[in-house]
Chain A
C-alpha cells in the first residue's frame, strides 16, 4: 500500500511533465527534446537554491523559470535561425548538461533542507499520527501528505493550462500548431508564439523535475535521460485511455492519467521481475508501438478487406 501511494505521487509529478509534453507534442506537433535537459535543470536549480537556504516555494519557481528560459532559447534558435526544431532541442539539451553540472557543482546534490512537500508531510503526520490505516494496511501519514500535495500541484497546473489554452494567447498558440499560415494572415507572429509555447512547455517540464528532485531528496545530472520519451508515453497512453477527443480539458486529464498509469505499470512490471535496466528500452518500444501500431493495424485491416473473398 505504501508503495502504491508513493507510486501514485511520483505518477502525479510526472503528470506535470506530461502537461508540458502535451503542449509541445500535441499543441505544437513538435517533439521537443529540450525536456531531457530542462527536467534536470529544474531539479538542479531547486536543489542548489535549497542548499543555499532559499525557501522551497521560491526555489521551485526559480526551477520553473530556468526551464522557461531553456525552452525560449530552443524556440528562438528554431524560428530565428531556421534550425530544425529537433536539432534546436538537441543543442539546448546538450548545452544544459554542462549548465546543470555548473549549477549543482557536482553531478549529484542531496536535498536535506525542507522541501515544498515538508509542510504537507508534517501536517498529515500531526493530523493523523505517524501511521494511518487504509484498507487494513498501515501507511506512513507523511506519504498521504505527499500524495495530497502532488494532487494539488498537478490539479492546479492542469486547470491553469486548460484555462490558458482558452485565452486569446493560448488559442493563438493552438492555432500556431494547427495552421501557422492562417495565424500570420491574422496578424500574429507565429515566431513569437512558438518561442512562448516552448517556454511554457519547458517551464512545466522543469517544474516536474524540481518536484521530482524534492520528492527523491536529490538532484542528479543524469536524471533527464529519456524524459521526453516518458512524457510522450504518458501523453499517448492518456490519449488511448480517453479516445480521440477534441476537448482540451479531457486531453489534459488524459495526459495526467496516462502519466500515473504508466508509472503504475512500470511499478508492476518491476515487481513482476522486469530488470530496471531494461526500463528505458521497454518505454521506447512501447512509445514506438503506440505511434506506429494504430496505422499498421489499419493498413493490415485494409489489405485483408481488399483480398477478402466476396
Chain B
C-alpha cells in the first residue's frame, strides 16, 4: 500500500519562478492496484512521482509504504521498496555494462554491494526466459553491452529490472513517451503483463489518452498540483478516450477562467 498524506511541494518559493507543484495531495493506493495518472503540463503529475521516489524533500506531508514512513528517506534508501522506469529510455540502464550485469545489479536492488563476483550464481536461465518474453531476441544478448541496444529494447529491460525483485511500488514515469510507436506498443504490452503478475502498487504517469483509457484500474487526473478527478472500479472501466479528451479541454477552460477571473478582480480593485 502506498499512502500520500497532505503532500505539498513548491519549487523556487519566493521567486518569480515559484511553482506550486503539489498542493495538499492526499492519495491512498491499494496493494496490487494499477493507477494511471494524467494531467496537463505542469499539473504536478511528474512531481508526484518525484515525491514518491525521493527526488526532493517535501515541504509538508508524509509518504508511507505499507507501514514504513519513508518521508525522510534518501532516494537510494527507498529504492528497495520502489522500482522505477524513467521517461528517458536510456536512463534506466548503464550502457557500459552488459545486459547480464545490468540485470545482476537490479537483482541486488537495495542490498549492499559486496566483493562477491557480480555474475557468480547469476540466474541466467531465468533471465533468458524473462528476456524471451519481450520477443526481441534479447535472450541471446546477455553478454552484449547494453549500450548497443535500441531505446525500446533498453526500456523493456529497464521494466524487467524494475520488477525483478518484486518491489512494493512500481513507478512508471511516461515510460513510452520517448519511444517510437512500435516500441511503445511493445513496452506497454510488456507493462500490462508484468503488472498483472506483480504484487506491487503500480503508478503510471502518461500523456497518452489511449493508454489512460485502456490501462489500469484507477485513474487520477492532476491539475494545478491537485487531484482533479479520481475514478476507479466500473466507472474507470467505462471511461473512454473521448471522455478523457473532453476532461482535458475542461481543465484548460478552467485554467483560462481562473486567469480571466483574476484579471477581472484585479481590475476592480486597482
Contact = CB atoms under 8 A, between A and B. Distances in A.
Interface of A: 163-164, 166-172, 174-175, 177-179, 181-190, 193, 246
A29 to B, nearest CB: 10
Contacts of A190: 76
Contacts of B72: none
Contact of A167 (B75, B96, B116): B116
B52 interface: no
A174 B94 contact: yes
Nearest to A179: B94
Contacts of A246: 96, 145
Contacts of B114: 167-169
A187 B76 contact: yes
A169 B93 contact: no
Given A167-B116, A169-B115, A171-B118, A186 B96 contact: no
Nearest to B81: A187
A203 to B, nearest CB: 15
A167 B117 contact: yes
B93 A185 contact: no
Q: Give the interface SS of chain B, mostly helix, strand, loop or mixed.
A: loop
B270 interface: no
Nearest to A163: B117
B118 A186 contact: no
A4 to B, nearest CB: 36
B191 interface: no
Contact of B84 (A169, A170, A185, A193): A185
A167 B79 CA distance: 21
Interface of B: 53, 74-80, 84, 86, 90-97, 101, 104-106, 108-111, 113-119, 145, 161
B91 A187 contact: no
A187 B109 contact: yes
A168 B84 contact: no
11 contacts: A168-B105, A168-B108, A168-B114, A171-B104, A172-B113, A174-B96, A178-B97, A184-B75, A184-B76, A184-B79, A185-B75
A17 B222 CA distance: 55
Given A168-B115, A174-B96, A175-B94, 11 more contacts: A164-B115, A168-B117, A169-B115, A179-B93, A183-B76, A184-B76, A186-B105, A186-B161, A187-B110, A193-B113, A246-B145
B144 to A, nearest CB: 9
Contacts of B118: 166-168, 170-171
Contacts of B94: 174-175, 178-179, 182-183
A166 B105 CA distance: 11
A20 to B, nearest CB: 19
B77 A187 contact: yes
A164 B74 CA distance: 27
A163 B113 CA distance: 15
Contacts of B95: 178-179
Given A171-B101, A178-B94, A187 B80 contact: yes
